[in-house]
A and B are shown apart, each in its own frame.
Chain A
Amino acid sequence: MNAVAEVKDLRVEIGGRAIVDGVSFQVRPGKVTALVGTSGSGKTTTGLALLGEYPAGARVTGDVRVSNGLVGYVPQHPGAVLNPARRVGALLRDIARDQVRRLPRPQRRAAARTRVLHALSVAQLPEGELLLRRYPHQLSGGQQQRAVLAQALLLGASVVVADEPTTGQDALTKRRIVDQLAAVARQGIAVVLLSHDLDVVRALADEVLVMRGGRVVEAAPAEQLWLAPQHPWTAELLAAEGKMGDSPPARDGQAALQVEGLTARHRDGARSTKEAVHIPELTVRSGECLAVIGRSGSGKTTFARCLAGLHRDYAGDVLLDGVPLPRSLRARTREQLAAVQYVFQDARAAFDEHRPVLDQVARTAVRLRGAHPREALAEALHTLTGLGLTEELALRAPGQLSGGELQRTALARALLARPRVLVCDEITAGLDTVTRRALLDTLAGLLRDRPELALVLITHDLDAAAAAARIAVLDAGELVEQGPARHVLTSPRHPFTVSLVDTSVRLAAETRSRRW
């Protein structure tokens, strides 16, 4: 098969620094080519080069050729490329209008319409007519993604670039996205997948290019790469993946936090409807990690916020050493505040952008333990370096740290309270595989070093949950299953857990042959 697109010796330079250097590859029709790497590896710049787009002020050398010049693009958040003020049909109609220009005027309208509806049905949106009249915010995430794919199909793209399509998604959503991209490839379209999610790459890719620091360190057919990685970086990348089933054993440690008959109401993000979270009974034990898993909107974050005292609107009790915690942070004593600490999902938004992170970390010790400011600073620095940050990084403002570094800083800030319970809300979401693995290892290290500590890990990611000793599963606000991780992940009982675990396992194990 001939290549539909070819990149030859691409070099992209910004301010004298090469962010992509000497990249060459070909993509073939009906095949999936994956560019894999951590953030900053240059995979997005390379992918956008296929679309003829480069960062501002970039100096570009090399050659990018696409056979018919038509390239489709599916961004990480498909909603962003749908015009919020226009109905979904607006851009689709405009794309089709250009294609029917040669027809006599009276026939154009109907012809364009047929083309649009055809593209929608190929993109698995059967109720096209209805959908065209909707505004983007009235579509579900899945429908938005399909509508964006339909644009590429309607265009007649020979190559579709999908940029991190599964980042931050739960296993069931990932499954759906993988199926869609596979269907696109079956249309004979070349798919270029930019991702750090190895599960998805494994499930889809025919060819894999591993990128690091702007260069391709290894390029090979998928199966060959999985079985016998040549480059040490590839091996490290593969090793960073979680291995399911090797969860630590659940021990019957002392109960640190007990939840009894908790019912809370929460807002479900986009649709702003209120839903209830119901946890009849749950125990968080010292010295081990409890993972709370569920899809987005299942209420797991609301539950975590109840524990931390950030969500006051609930009935029932959260007991610390048998004593009910006050619902509001205001009413908690200094000791109670220190005992249950919380690490936020969006680390960047959780810091004051004007002050150096070291000062902000140190304040915990000053306020919650009455430490002298100088001692607090020393302790903060000690904790930060213990988590792998340098003194030079600690003196910077949050804006100058990476996402992974900021999450570690946020951990340090909570740890300075010497908490009994540490609640971590989706702290690995949006991080690339290697960074995520390192952060999960850090959490495991915390448990080793502080036997009194109990961890509550809120996540949608079964990989991350596999690092926990116990797992609680939330579905639509209900606690549907809980138990030792080894049991839940290997022999789930509730149908929802079964489907969640199943999809993950299949996604991870899927090979090329099974798709055909």
Chain B
Amino acid sequence: MIGPRSWVARRLLLGVAQTAAVVLLVFSLTEALPGDAAVALAGDQPDPERIAAIREAMHLDRPAYERLADWASGLLHGDFGTSLASGRPVSSYIADGFGPTVLLAVLTMVLLVPAGVGLGVLAAGHEGRFVDRLVSSVTLGVYAVPEFAFGVLLVTVFALRLGWLPPTAVGYGTDLLDHPAALVLPVLVLLSRPVCSLARLVRAGMIDALASPYVAQARRYGISGFRIRYAHALPNAIAPCAQQLARTVDWLLCGVIVVEALYVIPGLGTVLINAVAERDVPVVQGLAVVFGLTAVVLNLGADLVVHRLAPRAGVAA
């Protein structure tokens, strides 16, 4: 009854609904403010001038649906509104923070798959023996640890005790590629959770696949252990992981915010945290839309790729 095309259509529709939900959710924040939004945002010492300025900047005198329409159509043109704190356009904040964040994300993604799959295959190949127990226990343990605690301990050891790496990215500006040493710890911390999760999934998938009747058949017919492991078992172990990989998008986005705060990297996460601290609502909204839509798009992309790669998933969906 459910063909592949209609599955794709339904998934795309869900993506559209999620996009709308993100935009609505972010917008509704100002509506949710108790009492007069302008007074609430003006801070501890509200002077009438500042309240008036906020009301002006956020067009609070106009009805909500008009502001939503304006804001949403502005988003389409890259106009995210104006900061309450500085009066600069929100898009300039985003432009400033974009480079470092994308650099971190790309580096992490590039290292994530080989590291996770490699560890998983290694553990599965030594199932039940020391290497497997070590990899399984360490990945299981580290997987749950918050990035900030892990990161601060790494700083203590590698920057403070050993002095090998700089403790933060302070003083390097936004051009982090020129200072690769400053990137080692952030990327390591950012990788910690997704790598562990991926390694565990690959290990479980490999062990299942290696115990399956089709691998038994390949063994029976004299196929070499190397080919069985990588050409016959691994593709089966990868398919379910790809689906789970989409979920790690959530972790990566959370992780980026924490890691930037921890290592003082001037990326989007730092901008967001500062804006939250200053209750600079237009900036928070603009960044939330960027982060939220990135998550929606990455989830959608991952699902579609998995659907294409694992033909059986479509039957189940």
Contacts and interface: CB of A to CB of B under 8 A. Distances in A.
Interface string B178-216: 000000000000000000000000000000000011111
B239 A81 contact: no
A151 B221 contact: yes
A513 interface: no
B222 interface: yes
A274 interface: yes
B221 A85 contact: no
Interface stretch (A16-24, A88-96, A292-300, A423-431): A88-96
A86 B216 contact: no
A273 B2 CA distance: 8
A83 interface: yes
A94 B312 contact: no
Given A90-B232, A272-B1, A135 B311 contact: yes
A80 interface: yes
Contact of A151 (B217, B227, B235, B311): B217
B1 A267 contact: yes
Contacts of B216: 53, 81
B111 interface: no
B223 to A, nearest CB: 5
A151 B214 CA distance: 12
Listed residue (A72, A83, A155) with the most chain B CB atoms within 10 angstroms of its CB: A83
Interface in B260-317: 310-312, 315
Contacts of A86: 231-232, 235
Nearest to A99: B222
B236 interface: yes
Given A90-B232, A91-B223, A83 B214 contact: yes
A333 to B, nearest CB: 33
B315 A95 contact: no
A78 to B, nearest CB: 10
A84 interface: yes
A137 B312 CA distance: 8
Listed residue (A82, A85, A148) with the most chain B CB atoms within 10 angstroms of its CB: A85
**Chain A, interface residues (CB within 8 Å), range:** 20 to 34
Interface residues of B, number: 24
A288 B1 CA distance: 38
B14 interface: no
A86 B218 CA distance: 12
Nearest to A134: B311
B213 A94 contact: no
Interface string B237-251: 011000000000000
Contact of A155 (B221, B227, B232, B238): B221
Contact of B235 (A80, A85, A274): A85
A75 interface: yes
B217 A73 contact: yes
Contacts of A94: 218, 223, 227, 231-232
Contacts of A148: 217
A272 B2 contact: yes
B315 A81 contact: no
Interface string A82-126: 111110001100110010000000000000000000000000000
A429 to B, nearest CB: 21
A83 B223 contact: no
Contacts of B232: 83, 86, 90-91, 94
Nearest to B2: A272
B311 A81 contact: no
Interface of B: 1-2, 212-218, 220-223, 227, 231-232, 235-236, 238-239, 310-312, 315
29 contacts: A72-B221, A73-B220, A80-B212, A80-B213, A80-B214, A81-B213, A81-B216, A82-B214, A83-B214, A83-B235, A83-B236, A84-B236, A84-B312, A85-B236, A85-B239, A86-B232, A86-B235, A90-B231, A90-B232, A91-B214, A91-B223, A94-B218, A94-B227, A137-B311, A148-B217, A155-B221, A267-B1, A272-B315, A274-B1
